[in-house]
Structure 1
């Protein structure tokens, strides 16, 4: 027998009270959001016949998710972060904002305050024996003109698929830099070829993905924030062509326009000319920013981020 009480006046009044609608204190916006969460939740409980055991299992899951600091990982894995990009894309289309490099997810592993370099930088600290990578590119406007003084904020994983700050074995700001473009909008850096990574196999995100019959792997990629005066801030990342998970990214971040060809070179003479030895890789990618007259559009969206002390 199916019993439903969510639409009764008493229950509706109860959840309005729980959401704070019976007082004039606090945030009206937050009250509205919490009320929607509560009313949608009780509909799920009724519609799907959620048992008390299932309910408390879900509560425990949320506790575990927080204790492992994997909430940001889960929203990426369930496609929610990608959905936000799709929604912003749709809003841009309606507003007639076209052109430029596509956005894609930031992910949960950015750290603010990386050292700022002029025109070029070395990202790695020399402790990882991965293949040396030389990347260069330009920051342009939609007319193809270079943007001098743009800031390229770049970060990526090491060959083990882990990120500095979150991996205590790495030095501060390893594989993280901010680079100011030169008069021709160019930037360049030396680093190592990053590896893709997977969700922690013993963590709550992977446990949920297991129940969905899904893997938790990401292809090799490099994250970027690109910013310049009078231009819209860009949050994006490039994926390295040829990775086995390129079109099977558990976080749904791959976009065709953001796939970069990486070239591996086995030429000792060329390697020495670059100041290295053995095999190395080269990568070139340009970023295009849309103009804006709105100062807020020049800034990255506000969210909690790690800060190296």
Structure 2
């Protein structure tokens, strides 16, 4: 298996570098072909690493000093000017110069998107990068939702490119041979929706590079109807955060309902043990990690308050994308799609 290098922003996120290093320790055991570069403040990381002897002893871990940290409330424009030696910029530079094949950061989302665009640039022909994440499905599988906020407004051409990029990711990472692609809309009927989404639907119907199945609604997000669901960043961000809020409400209510009487606690524990595998697909940690598609490198955004297990999932997703060389595959498919459009317009 080809050896890979993944750069980790040790200073990003709400939980501090301890989460990153704990996830790294697990990743060393799980991915024996991968090297890791830990980027951050040596004065903070060096004493912390003493609590992780396996990480310190590993020949597959190196550390790169970064004197600055991007705070979660920093403005992206200010970060670009004032923090050139941040740990976030460091991991992106490692991908840019080819030292690493991918990077992971739990830092400021806006700053990461702006800095990624500046440092890595988009692939030739790609109009805009898209933020994409996995959603659990009723059948136990996963679907992809994009865009999640990188582009609040999009034209029809951009939505079509998102469909192409999402389709390539579904094929290469989720191993779906003919991923079903849909547009998120306010109804399934062709007459529903605004002009942009209607125009995008017409373009996708004419494309041979995606398996377009039509419109889906918000209640289809987890129904296994589609493998790739496309929308503008404004819609996608609200949809995702609404789902996250509902999940938190359900988990909290379930926890409270089983935390009172001794008997209910016992029943809850027995049920969990008996149906652990059946419920594992609901664990949000395994879906942590949103990819920035369309860039000349693999960039994985972990949730800011991710646990070590969740951050490990983000590392796993970055490794999968880097191993598949996803940016190159997206470049090839986008190029073919653009040639198809030019040919159709000539005809």
Q: TM-score range by the shorter chain?
A: under 0.3
In terms of fraction of residues, the more helix-rich structure is 2
In terms of fraction of residues, the more strand-rich structure is 1
Bigger radius of gyration among the two: 1
